[in-house]
Amino acid sequence: MAYNKTISFEQYAEDFYLGSRDHIRQQLEADMQAFLDNGGMIDEVPSRVMADPPRKPQVGYGSQPI
């Protein structure tokens, strides 16, 4: 949630309070169920999968003139 200057600090702080996150969890669960009910699929990605696999280091140190 982005900070909105029109709300009070108390309201902003309450958005991050653990108890108020229950509403967000319920909304997320409802959205996910609606997605699945409309034929959507959720794929679980293993935790060891990386977006950018490691690359071999490039040799080039000192190759540029000063």
Average pLDDT of each block of 10 consecutive residues along the chain (66 residues)?
62 68 88 95 86 77 73
Q: CA–CA separation, 24 vs 1, rounded Å?
A: 11
The Cα angle at residue 47 between residues 44 and 50, in degrees rounded to 5: 105
pTM, full prediction: 0.46
Residue whose pair of structure tokens reads 């999968």 in the numeric block:
49
